Amino acid sequence: MSLGPLLIDLKGLVLSADERELLAHPLVGGVILFSRNYQDRAQLAALTAAIHAVRTPRLLIAVDHEGGRVQRFRHEFTELPALASLGALYEKNVHRALEVAADIGWLMAAELRAHEVDFSFAPVLDLYTGNSKVINDRAFHATPDTVARLGQAYMRGMHAAGMGAVGKHFPGHGTVSADSHHELPVDRRTLETLRLRDLVPFRLLAVAGIEGIMPAHILFPAVDNLPVGYSRVWIEEILRQEFGFMGAVFSDDLSMSGAAISASPIERAELALAAGCDMCLLCNDRAAVIAVLDRLKVALNPVAQVRLMRLHGRGNLNWSALVDHPRRANALGALGMLEPAPSLELGDDAPA
């Protein structure tokens, strides 16, 4: 069985019989976990084992685990810093900041891989501007080249731990003040302006071989009349053809208000897939998931299968080995150099 084009959520701490049936559907390709799916490390390991046992090839298991406000698993996991703290260190010591970014990327990925989570939707490649409350300190820095360098270092750390990276939110969410969880943001800048700023980290990470990218639910009317996640201009012409991106494209959650260009979740999924998304997130709306599974008609895309398979986690690092790993000691030591991570979590109602 191949990996389907839907990434869906679960209700609780264990996999129910109904959810096991949903995950066996050929249109499902993976699961995204939230804080409600986590109690402790033992429970998480049992849940991921149950998900991976449903079918072959195993379903992808994803999570938003950036650090700072967006870290779904906290108890018994290392509390990770907001990415902006790495940007602050970069201004003082470039070389050290790149080392720490790689170590923290490794630590984040290694702790997740020790529990068979395949990947985190990270790193954030948006620019910090102070305009966006939903991004803000989730961004590394305000300068495009700095974001790109820290993002590449963070990705190298993830790779060393056996995890692929998924950058977000293409082509940049940091400038608009509206939150796409609740409304559709509109950014009226030109493509030429975006090429000089927000697009720089995505272009450079695409060249560096990042495995996945998530488009933002934002409308750029100077570029296309469709929001980015539904736009072939953005996904096929700019991201794939102009930037040469070879990885998987994940839609942001189609249940978010910013994605609601159609009342029908089936139409939203069809539009996202037609625009070039390889996998669509559909969360916190079980009725919509069932409707899409019942009615969505989509042909198998062999190229998309290759892109998605690259996001299966690699290696078999267990927690005992991780605790004694010398790189973990380096990473934990580096955390003391950074500003404390905010304790306020950015909600659990949708992917971040």
Q: By C-alpha distance, which of 37, 204, 63, 201 is closest to 121? A: 63
- Catalytic residue of the set 252, 253, 278, 312: 252
Asked about 181 being catalytic, the answer comes back as yes
Asked about 252 being catalytic, the answer comes back as yes
- Catalytic residue of the set 181, 224, 253, 312: 181
Q: Which residues are catalytic?
A: 181, 252
